[in-house]
C-alpha cells in the first residue's frame, strides 16, 4: 500500500505542476482578448486566429486543470449532504464515486477522444474560419486533460483507501463544507 501511496503522491505532484502552470494561461487569455478588442475598436482590425486562440487557451485551462481541481477537492459536490457524514463515510463515498462514475467516464472520454485527436493530427485539420488555426492542438487537450483527471481519480481512490486503513491522514478540505456554513448561519439566526 505504501508503494501505491507513493505513486498517488507522484500523481498529486504532476497535477500540482500542471495546475500551477496552466492557470497563468488565464492572464494570457485576458491579454489577448483585450488586445483583440482594442485593435478591433481603434484600428478596425481583427483576426479569427485571435478568437480561436482564446478558446484554445480557455480549453487548456479547463481541461488540463481538471486533475488539479480534483486534487484540491474543488469539484462540485453536494456538501450539504456529504459534509454531515463522518470522514470515513466521506472516504467511502469518494471511493464509490471514483470507481463507478469518475474513472469509467474518464476512460470512455479518453477512448473516444483519442481517435478524434489522431484523425485531426494525421489530416492536419485546420479551422474552417478564414485566418483560423490548426485544430489538432486543441483536440489534443481533450485526451490529455482526461488522462490527468483519470490519474488524479486513481490517486484520490488510493489515498482514501490509505485513510480507511489508517496509513494516510485525511486531507483537509480546501474550504469548509457548505453544511458547516449552513450550521453556522442557523446558529447565528437562533442567537
- Does residue 177 belong to any structural domain of this protein? no
- Does residue 152 belong to any structural domain of this protein? yes
- Does residue 99 belong to any structural domain of this protein? yes
- Does residue 189 belong to any structural domain of this protein? no
Q: Is the pLDDT score of 82 beyond 80? A: no
Q: How far apart are CA 142 and CA 114, in angstroms?
A: 8
**What is residue 10's predicted lDDT score, i.e. its pLDDT?**
97
**What is residue 45's predicted lDDT score, i.e. its pLDDT?**
85
Query: For the residues of 37-48, what is the DSSP string, one character each?
Result: HHHHHHH----H
Q: Is the pLDDT score of 174 beyond 60? A: no
Q: Tens of pLDDT along 110-163?
A: 999 999 999 999 999 998 888 889 999 999 999 999 999 999 999 999 999 999
- Does residue 184 belong to any structural domain of this protein? no
* End-to-end CA gap in the chain: 48
Q: Tens of pLDDT along 9-57?
A: 999 999 999 999 998 999 999 999 999 999 989 998 888 888 899 999 9
Number of Cβ within 10 Å of residue 161's Cβ equals 19
Q: Is the pLDDT score of 1 beyond 70? A: yes
- Does residue 94 belong to any structural domain of this protein? yes
Q: How far apart are CA 98 and CA 102, in angstroms?
A: 5
Q: How far apart are CA 187 and CA 21, in angstroms?
A: 41
**What is residue 48's predicted lDDT score, i.e. its pLDDT?**
84
How many domains does the structure of the chain reveal? 1
Residue range of the domain that includes 45: 2-170
Q: How far apart are CA 117 and CA 42, in angstroms?
A: 38
- Does residue 187 belong to any structural domain of this protein? no
- Does residue 176 belong to any structural domain of this protein? no
Amino acid at each position: 500500500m505504501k508503494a501505491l501511496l507513493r505513486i498517488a503522491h507522484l500523481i498529486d505532484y504532476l497535477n500540482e505542476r500542471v495546475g500551477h502552470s496552466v492557470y497563468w494561461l488565464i492572464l494570457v487569455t485576458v491579454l489577448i482578448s483585450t488586445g483583440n478588442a482594442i485593435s478591433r475598436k481603434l484600428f478596425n482590425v481583427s483576426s479569427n486566429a485571435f478568437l480561436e486562440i482564446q478558446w484554445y487557451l480557455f480549453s487548456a485551462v479547463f481541461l488540463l486543470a481538471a486533475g488539479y481541481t480534483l486534487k484540491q477537492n474543488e469539484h462540485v459536490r453536494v456538501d450539504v449532504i456529504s459534509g454531515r457524514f463522518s470522514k470515513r463515510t466521506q472516504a467511502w463515498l469518494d471511493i464509490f464515486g471514483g470507481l463507478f462514475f469518475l474513472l469509467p467516464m474518464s476512460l470512455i472520454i479518453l477512448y473516444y477522444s483519442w481517435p478524434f485527436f489522431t484523425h485531426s493530427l494525421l489530416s492536419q485539420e485546420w479551422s474552417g474560419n478564414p485566418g483560423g488555426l490548426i485544430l489538432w492542438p486543441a483536440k489534443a487537450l481533450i485526451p490529455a486533460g482526461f488522462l490527468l483527471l483519470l490519474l488524479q481519480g486513481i490517486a484520490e481512490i488510493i489515498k482514501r483507501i490509505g485513510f480507511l486503513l489508517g496509513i494516510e491522514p485525511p486531507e483537509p478540505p480546501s474550504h469548509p463544507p457548505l453544511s458547516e456554513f449552513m450550521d453556522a448561519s442557523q446558529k447565528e439566526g437562533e442567537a
